[in-house]
Structure 1
Amino acid sequence: MEVNLITLSNYKAILGEGPVYDKELNKLFWVDIEGKRIIVNDLNTGSEIFYNMPDLVSSLCVIDDKRVIATIRHGFYIVNLFTNSLEKITETETNLDTNRFNDGKCDKMGRYWAGTMNMNERKPTGNFYKLEGNKLTKMLEGLIVSNGIGWDIENRQMYLIDSPLRKIFVFDFDLNKGEIYNKRVAVDFGSEPGNPDGMAVDEEGYIWVAHWGGGKVSRWNPKNGEKVFEIKVPATYVTSVTFGTPDLDRIFITTAGKSQDPLAGKVFTTKVEVKGIPNYRYKV
């Protein structure tokens, strides 16, 4: 697949993550975890705004044209981007100083799935949660760095990455009940450079994975665990990928500014030949 990566963002992140495209607004949202900011790029105008958060902000889901919900350190908060105000929904693991929330994403029913990580990236102190309304439920435990999340096109399977294990796990997923079962390995990174980080799913059911420390995004067939192709990125620490534009025919790639690469920390984009699955809004 021929690609021509271009730089989207003016903003240069310390640790760019969690890109979310909202089709109704035609805007791309992402976070700078260590910069403690939410960044919004209006794809209609090209304007870019950032919002300061009180602590490490690791993921978000759009609620409406004024609000997002974000994972900040140990909790879920509704952020009003017009008034720059926060409303705490719930917190967890406040007694675990070495844990924080990491990646998160909303399913088709508007539930927010998000996992925590061990900030030393050594011990399996991380857990995986589901927020539905105001109810937080622990769905999985024993993770080191809970990371990329995705669902297949039929919403019958759910993917979850634990980065230091270098594996992409797959579960059977019950969309109506919001339950996951039967954990197994879909992709083993094996000798691939870097660790798997954020991910997205395309309309053909293939998964796109960012390589933290590997300088690329790769596309995999989750049915047989084989890599189909890869896209080199001019930044060593590639963190996540999502599909965007009204036709969902572009990918947007976030990176961290933790290398000497001149463009490290920027967001990159390119048109691709396959369309993606949309991001979903959080149901309040």
Structure 2
Amino acid sequence: MEEVPTTVLCSERCHLGEGPTYDVATDTAWWFDILERRLFEARLDSGRITIHSLGVMGSALGRIDTHRQLLVADDGLYIRDTADGRMALYRSLEADNVATRSNDARVHPSGTFWIGTMGRQAERGLGAIYALHGGELSRLYGNVTIPNAICFSPDGTIGYFADTGENVLFRVDLDAATGLPQAEPTVLVTRRSGGGIDGAVVDADGLIWNARWGGGCIDVYSPQGEHLRSLRVPARQSSCPAFIGQDFSRLLATSAWQGMADDAKRADPDHGRTFVLEVAARGRPEPDVKLATD
């Protein structure tokens, strides 16, 4: 396990910290506490952190433009105004199924948004992965237990996603212009022990940076699935990374205390906190979401 300089970005504990992203234009990091319906906003230049209460169970977001975000929630996709926090429903997402909620999501270089859903109690096979393309949602994959690690190669020709319930990371060939699959997924990585394959992001060199739930680390894989590094995170239930900073060289990592007994929390004093790892990465900015009117 490799140790790198690490600081606590936010000491507020997240029940289920997830969905981090970074807006380079405003030097702002965003992430969610899914179960507590909170959205965190961290201005990196000043260190000011604002916690927004949501009326929905948000799990991820993508930037539309300077003033708007597309927020993924348990009943649909919402356009959120960053100035005042007002939200308007854009598309429903499994709103008729009270047993499911949204989970991991990420924007493809083309502007297509991949979004995962899962059972609220992680029921086996209850989730799915969708793509928002041209303003319309289409179901890409079903029978998913816990969708995670949605991310894409820099040129948009390869997509990755995991089912944490199976502890498998998949790769799939994509149309770079649309972000939609051109072939069936194949298994890239299977983890047998030591924690679960959770959220992930791809750097400018195509390396996959993957949080290991229960393993307290970020694993780095090559596009061929070779394990290259493991970087320690100070919380056992590390959940998702995002590149931050004007040069995208640092890594934000969320964590969670979901399901932890009191003795496990005592043994893991930084549980649920949000961290910055000085990894000297060659990260890259997140693409903007393209809506039907773009």
Give the TM interval when normalised to the shorter protein. Answer: over 0.9
Structure 1 position 145 matched with structure 2 position 146: yes
8 Å contact from structure 1 (residues 250, 271) kept in 2: yes
TM-score (norm 1): 0.94
Quick check: 1:182 aligned with 2:184? yes
For residues 266 and 183 of structure 1, the distance between their equivalents in structure 2, rounded to whole angstroms, comes to 34
Aligned position for 2:54: 53
For residue 204 of structure 1, what is the amino acid of its counterpart? D
How do 1:170-209 residues align onto structure 2 when only pairs under 5 Å count? 170-180=171-181, 181-191=183-193, 193-209=194-210
The answer for unaligned runs of 5 or more in structure 2 is none
Cα distance between partner residues in 2 of 1:97 and 1:61 = 24
Residues 187-230 of structure 1: per-residue CA shift (max 9 Å, x gap)? 11123x1111100112222111111111111111231x221111
C-alpha separation in 2, matches of 1:92 and 1:68: 17
TM-score by length of 2: 0.91
Alignment of 1:100-249 (within 5 A): 100-180=101-181, 181-191=183-193, 193-223=194-224, 225-249=225-249
1:269 maps to a residue whose letter is: V
* 1:98-136, Cα deviation, whole Å (9 max, x unpaired): 211111111112221101112232321211111134311
Question: Which residue is equivalent to 1:282?
Answer: 289
Moved more, 33-42 or 225-234: 225-234
Instruction: Say if 1:85 and 1:273 are closer, same or farther in 2 by CA, change over 3 A.
Output: closer
1:29 is paired with a residue whose SS is strand
Question: What percent identity do the matched residue pairs reach?
Answer: 29
Amino acid at match of 1:220: Y
The 2-side partners of 1:102 and 1:213 are apart by 18
Q: CA deviation at 1:95?
A: 2.9
SS of equivalent residue, structure 1 residue 3: coil
Question: 2-side partners of 1:112 and 1:133: how far apart?
Answer: 10
Task: Give the 3-state SS of the residue equivalent to 1:124 in structure 2.
Answer: coil
Aligned length: 282
Distance 1:128 1:269 in 2: 29
Q: Is the 8 A contact 2:241 2:251 kept in 1?
A: yes
**Structure 1: which amino acid aligns with 2:190?**
D
8 Å CA contact 1:187–1:222 kept in 2: the answer is: no
Q: Which runs of 5+ in 1 are unaligned?
A: none
Give the 3-state SS of the residue equivalent to 1:174 in structure 2: coil
Conserved in 1, the CA contact under 8 Å of 2:109 and 2:154?
Answer: no
SS in 1 for 2:174: strand
> CA–CA distance in 1 between the matches of 2:135 and 2:177?
18
Amino acid of the residue matched to residue 6 of structure 2? L
Letter in 2 for 1:262: P
Q: Is the 8 A contact 2:151 2:159 kept in 1?
A: yes
- Partners of 1:283 and 1:43 lie apart in 2 by 26
3-state SS, counterpart of residue 164 of structure 1: coil
